[in-house]
Amino acid sequence: MNLGLTDKIAVVGASSKGLGRAIALGLAQEGATVTICARNSDALATTAADIRNQTGIEVLAVPTDVSQPAQVENLINTAITHFGGIDILVNNAGGPRAGRFDDLGAQDYQDAVQLNLMSTINLCRAVVPTMRARGGGRIINLTSVSVKQPVNGLMLSNMARTGVIGFAKTLATELAPDKILVNNVCPGIIFTDRIQQLATVRADEASITFDEALANMTADIPLGRIGDAEEFANLVVFLASERASYITGTTIQVDGGMVKGLL
Ligand SMILES: NC(=O)c1ccc[n+]([C@@H]2O[C@H](COP(=O)([O-])OP(=O)(O)OC[C@H]3O[C@@H](n4cnc5c(N)ncnc54)[C@H](OP(=O)(O)O)[C@@H]3O)[C@@H](O)[C@H]2O)c1
């Protein structure tokens, strides 16, 4: 299948590592130019060089904290100045801190909304004018399976990410006449640094080995294993492509069957 991504221009949030990095690499492998961002500029530069070396595609690295509106504006303006516009926006940020109701203060809720909801809104506000001018585009928001089935102990993720779903569904309807398609993707448990850290914490807490902690995490996954970042990125690359021209307003999980709900 020819995905029609050659020479498309993409911006991928939070992309020096993990899911964002895998998506940026996947888009570049299909011929799209990519702008990547993260807070740590050294790690970001290393990732940009890796993607360039693997694909021969131009990669622009713009150090950015996506929770900061002025930095979001700078990211999008820099990408537009460099490449002439943007066709694809992948919204991604770090995860909010773990915790239950009794562990969290009012500022924790504000911070999570700023990181996971407002970053998405601000990035969309910045890219829609250029997408309209180019006759269409794709916006893909990374959330979590927590939007389909709240995860115990992750109050902030369960709270802030569902706001993204309401925003995106409304935006999908409003931007359909502009041929800007908006969808959400939900990782289940996909092997990245974040999952490695989580397994290390759980191993320490339960006095078990790292491998035992990982095995416990797979217990509820029908496919019996943790996913690979490339398996997750494949869906995002497809949704970003010309072949996904009749899909908008959806929320799709990549979770090995973990979510137990019907939809
Ligand atoms: N992996 C999973 O199974 C899974 C499951 C459900 C949800 N998620 C969510 O998916 C997202 C990505 O997860 P991941 O597993 O890829 O994490 P990861 O491997 O820890 O990578 C996180 C990336 O985000 C960047 N980042 C973090 N905060 C940022 C900020 N404020 N502004 C810009 N970049 C930022 C990090 O670089 P810097 O630190 O240098 O900024 C890094 O490049 C997170 O929101 C996570 O909660 C992941």
Structural domain that includes position 203: 191-226
* Ligand 1 contacts CB of residue 94 (under 6 A): yes
DSSP-derived 3-state class of residue 148: coil
Residue 154 is classified by DSSP as B
* Ligand 1 contacts CB of residue 18 (under 6 A): yes
- Together in a domain, 58 and 95: yes
The answer to the question of residue 4 being in a domain is: no
- Together in a domain, 184 and 212: no
Please write down the long-range contacts of 219-223, taking CB distance under 8 Å and 24 or more positions apart. Answer: 220/258, 221/188, 221/189, 221/255, 221/256, 221/257, 221/258, 222/256, 222/257, 222/258, 223/256, 223/257
Note the pTM of the prediction, 2 decimals.
0.98
- Together in a domain, 122 and 197: no
- Together in a domain, 181 and 195: no
- Together in a domain, 81 and 115: yes
- Together in a domain, 134 and 159: yes
- Together in a domain, 63 and 86: yes
Question: What values do phi and psi take at 4, rounded to 5?
Answer: 70, 30
Q: How many CB atoms lie within 10 A of CB 45?
A: 15
The answer to the question of residue 62 being in a domain is: yes
Q: Of the candidates 29, 5, 25, 8, which has an alpha carbon nearest to the alpha carbon of residue 16?
A: 25
- Residue 198 has a pLDDT of 87
* CATH number, domain with residue 89: 3.40.50.720
Q: Which two tokens stand for residue 11?
A: 């911006």
Cα angle: 70, vertex 67, 163; to 5 degrees: 120
* Ligand 1 contacts CB of residue 11 (under 6 A): no
Test site for ligand 1: of 39, 64, 116, 221, most ligand atoms within 8 A of the Cβ: 39
- Count of domains for the chain: 2
- Together in a domain, 163 and 184: yes
CA nearest ligand 1 atom 42, residue: 17
pLDDT in tens, the chain (263 residues): 999 999 999 999 999 999 999 999 999 999 999 999 999 999 999 999 999 999 999 999 999 999 999 999 999 999 999 999 999 999 999 999 999 999 999 999 999 999 999 999 999 999 999 999 999 999 999 999 999 999 999 999 999 999 999 999 999 999 999 999 999 999 999 999 999 998 998 899 999 999 999 999 999 999 999 999 999 999 999 999 999 999 999 999 999 999 999 98
Test site for ligand 1: of 192, 202, 220, most ligand atoms within 8 A of the Cβ: 192
The answer to the question of residue 55 being in a domain is: yes
Annotate 87-111 with three-state secondary structure. Answer: CEEEECCCCCCCECHHHCCHHHHHH
The answer to the question of residue 19 being in a domain is: yes
**Ligand 1 center–CA 247 separation, angstroms:** 25
* Ligand 1 contacts CB of residue 119 (under 6 A): no
